[in-house]
Structure 1
Amino acid sequence: MARRAMSQLLPQWSSRVFSVELNGAPFYFSIQERHRGEDMPHVFEEVRGNDRCYSLFVCSSDRIKQARFYPELKEKLLRDLPKGCDLSPMSSFLPNVKDSLLKGYFLKDRSAGSSLSERLLRDVIQHDPVLVCSYLKSEDGQLWTQRLWGDADSQTTEMSKDYCVVPSEAPEYHPATLNIINSDVFYSFEEACDVLKQSADIIPEATSVLELLPSRLEARSKPDFPVIVIEGLDATGKTTLTESLRDTLGAALLRSPPKCLSPLRTRFDREPPLIRRAFYALGNYITAEEMGQEGMKTPVIVDRFWHSTAAYAIATAVSGPVCNLPSDGSEVYRWPTDLLRPSLVVLLTLDPEERKRRLRDRGQGETAEEQELDHNQLFRLKVEEAYRRISGPACVTVDASPPADQVLQQVLLLIRAKCHL
């Protein structure tokens, strides 16, 4: 598997850009056949005299195996590497080429001897879908070269080609955006369904999800009654508002993910993003089926929908500051063509400190992503900005800081104006 992947990658290897995450910020470098006096890439500036550096990229034509092995490789390295080794997230990509992103790790080995690390890395490429590169420093310490190792079936342990390592400018868009579509965010029922079908042999619960899905997506006209989605972070007042709207409008109240998936959420939350996001995407389609049925009889209020699924996924996939998000108008913010479109989407916003206070008062457990929101302001800002950029339909922002009855009245005014209720 790795050998086949390597044969596909090698013709374009020198065109690739490499990114290493240090303290949450990406630093880029590239490779070329000759050095032309470029500065040393930032990644290597802090490398001490006897330190050794390697990169490992997970590479498999089986996307399920690739997604699951990436975190497994990290666990293996952290468990087996000698003390004095630092591991950082790393990626390799072809600029502006979709689905070209390879994920991996950058290893800085500060241990007393290289033999244990070298043996571990050689064992990895013998048994797992991993490409390994070593980085060699010149005698004067000013230049670095990259050497790509061979895989288990190669006649030699290392490839003979050495490339000079040079700085690279940051790409126009964060490299994670190259692989977001139908990987971190799903834009069709079939794409998400295929991931769970491919996972069924190793995740028995995937079959249970597939059995809950509608047999086919019928091309249905808009429901007779409006469908209003209420979005927002935890503790912004969604539950209070959606229940008040249900009672005031005589509406049906639905939630996404739907109740039928609740027993399976803990299981899929342990899976890597590809499988976890496919699970939540299919939850939206189950909810959409319910929305279509209920909307023929009565107005429908929905507690979260596709906006949440997409906003959290995009904010998680794209590291660094808010400016690294795909630009406004990017296709990653487009609404799936086969998913029922709500009549109105309301995004509740709240001052971060007030939201934290409400969470403390509520005393309820949080998802891992909600915990991340609480201690990582940058992540919260990215989620909120991703919410705002999703289009077709876009969110209408409502300040949730006033008393609940005032928020209700404001949203009712919006519904009457937009949905003619």
Structure 2
Amino acid sequence: MRFLFPSNSLSLTQSITMLKRAMFRCGPLCSRVFAVEFDLHTEPLYFTLSSNPQVLHGDQQQLFEDCGKLFSLYVHGENRIEKARTHAEIKHKLSATLSRDCEVFEASSFMPNVRNSVLKGFFIRDKSTTCLSKEVLKSLQQQRKSVCVFSYEREGQHCWQEIWSAVHHVEESVKQYIKPAAAAAHHPSTLNISNSDVFYCMDEAYKVLQECADIIPESKEVLKLVDEQLKTTRGDGFPVIVIEGLDATGKTTLTEALRESLNATLLKSPPQCLAPFRQRFDSEPPLIRRAFYALGNYITATHIAKESLRAPVIVDRYWHSTAAYAIATAVGGRVENLPKPDSELYWWPEDLLQPDMVLLLTVSPEERVRRLRDRGQDKTTEEAELEINQLFRLKVEEAYKRIQNPSCITVDASPSPQEVLKQVHHLIRNKCYF
């Protein structure tokens, strides 16, 4: 590997050791597996490193076809907030800076079956004549100590990987060859989902916003709102019914109709008290954004506990939405990459109030797009993604259906609002006591 260091104050051996420790605290470099989302409709391409030359076959040959201009980078470090924001900033910079001749793929490095061992990054194939990506990556690494960059070179049927740090005087090269690896039993992103993309207790989400307090002032205001909520335990009260579904499936129309017909209280998640902060947190990377929405569910739970003592409660979205969108976003590629149906990642948080019934509204993609167009409202990034990315929509819908305890009851929302309301009333009468 080649190491380029910014200072001669440490010996080469000391510098290499420090860099490796910072990057790969979960295990040695050669014990890690690397994954590249080369084709969103297939498995990621997996490889490891070896000290001996390895012959590449098939997809690996295709991935490393132009090794003179191939690079990858990974974001490491112990500060999870800084790591998440750095990854988001790099993603934006690569998109804004690199030319059309540069292909950028999502990539990760992980220890098999080791939770929270995933380092997120990117794999870059530069087909330009100027090799702009190399200069961009050098600049990024000089600015960020938490960025590790690899370059790749080809030698016949073999390919090796080199690592470099911020550019300066010292240089040393030791080859680490690319070795094809078997596909992981589960998509690597699933190793980092728990209490990072999806939160399974309030304390974990609360800690994330505490860690953000110095860089995101709004975090303090959100935490203050959480602290002000009474920790009410729900007793024997009226039924709580959650209405879920993608945007423009008829949730608003149905929830309003149920409020009137059942003389119920209507609540929404996230609650209105968090509305002034949504735009701010929607612009943050997933770790921070998900923690914000998780806390919104706990505030909503407090409202549910109070209101269900007086009347039936209808809730427009709740934990299912938070989890389904988070899992679909975190897991790259095809629907088959989602956590298996029996995965604990679909389990309801033990400390979050459970509803009596969850209804998932569905319509055809064409009908949903038509309704969105008719509404003409601003959409979040994820809602906009649903319109143009059928694969993402399928993953969200499948994640909805896999959440357990309680699971969703699917309702076809294509008919008229009156027919949908009739269907729902029938389901409620059969399951809930009024």
> TM-score higher than 0.5 here?
yes
1:6 matched residue in structure 2: 20
- The residue aligned with 2:37 is 21
8 Å contact from structure 1 (residues 67, 274) kept in 2: yes
Q: Report the secondary structure of 2:405's partner residue.
A: coil
Q: 1:125 to 1:220 in 2, by over 3 A?
A: same
C-alpha contact (below 8 Å) 2:70/2:124 kept by paired residues:
yes
Aligned letter for 1:19?
A: A
Amino acid in the other structure paired with 1:366:
K
Note closer, same or farther for the CA distance 1:238–1:62 as it changes in structure 2 (3 Å cut). same
Q: Which residue of 2 aligns with 1:134?
A: 151
Alpha-carbon distance between aligned partners in 2 of 1:304 and 1:50, rounded to the nearest angstrom: 48
Equivalent position to 1:371, from 384, 388, 391: 384
Q: Counterpart in 2 of 1:224?
A: 237
Superposed, which structure 2 residues align to 1:102-181 within 5 Å?
102-112=119-129, 118=134, 120-128=136-144, 129-138=146-155, 141-150=156-165, 156-158=170-172, 160-181=173-194
Counterpart Cα distance in 1 of 2:415 and 2:293: 31
Task: Tell me if 1:303 matches 2:316.
Answer: yes
- Residue by residue over 1:347-373, the C-alpha shift from the partner in whole angstroms, topping out at 9 and shown as x without a partner, is 111122222222222232322211211
TM-score (norm 2): 0.88
What are the superposed Cα offsets for residues 162-206 of structure 1, whole Å, 9 maximum, x if unpaired?
221022222111111010011111111111011111111111111
Gaps of 5+ in 2: 1-14
Cα distance per residue 1:303-353 (max 9 Å; x no partner): 000000000111111111111110011011000111000011111111222
- Once the two structures are superposed, what CA deviation does each residue of 1:206-234 show, in whole Å capped at 9, x if it has no partner? 11111111457737244511111011111
Q: Cα distance, 1:236 vs. partner?
A: 1.3
Following TM superposition, where does structure 1 have runs of at least 4 consecutive aligned residues deviating by more than 6 angstroms?
none
Aligned pairs, number: 415
Summarize the Cα distance change of 1:411–1:364 in structure 2 as closer, same or farther, 3 Å threshold: same
SS in 2 for 1:22: coil
Residue 50 (structure 1) shift: 7.0
> Are 2:232 and 2:305, in contact at CA under 8 Å, matched by a contact in 1?
no
Corresponding residue of 2:51: 33
Letter of the aligned partner of 2:218 in structure 1? E
Query: For the residues of structure 1 that align with 2:280 and 2:204, how far apart are their CA atoms?
Result: 21
Q: How does 1:183-332 map to 2 (within 5 A)?
A: 183-215=196-228, 218=231, 220-332=233-345
The amino acid of 1:6's aligned partner reads K
- CA drift of 1:390 comes to 0.2
CA contact (8 A) 1:174 1:325 kept: yes
Take 2:141 and 2:58, find their aligned partners in 1: how far apart are those partners?
27
Report the CA distance between 1:273 and its aligned residue.
0.5
CA drift at 1:4: 5.3
Say if 1:5 and 1:60, in contact at 8 Å, map to a contact too: no
Distance 1:88 1:163, change over 3 A: same
- Seen in structure 2, the aligned counterparts of structure 1 residues 360 and 125 have a Cα distance that, compared at 3 Å, is closer
Contact 2:197 2:287 in 1 (8 A): yes
Q: Is 1:69 the counterpart of 2:69 in the alignment?
A: no
- Listed one character per residue, the Cα deviations across residues 55-81 of structure 1 (whole Å, up to 9, x for unaligned) are 111011100000001121234445566
Q: TM-score, normalising length from structure 1?
A: 0.91
CA spacing shift, 1:264–1:122, aligned 2, 3 Å:
same
Q: Tell whether 2:412 aligns with 1:395.
A: no
CA distance in 1, matches of 2:67, 2:328: 38
TM-superposed deviation, 1:12 = 2.0
- Residues 81 and 230 from structure 1, CA distance in 2 versus in 1: closer, same or farther, beyond 3 angstroms? closer
Contact 1:133 1:148 in 2 (8 A): yes
Once residues 19 and 68 of structure 2 are traced to their aligned partners in structure 1, the CA distance between those partners, rounded to angstroms, is: 29
SS in 1 for 2:386: helix
CA distance in structure 1 between the aligned counterparts of 2:297 and 2:19, rounded to whole angstroms: 34
Relative distance call for 1:29 and 1:49 in structure 2 (3 A) is: closer
> What's the CA shift for 1:125?
3.2
Kept in 1: contact 2:360–2:409 (CA 8 A): yes
- AA in 2 matched with 1:14: C
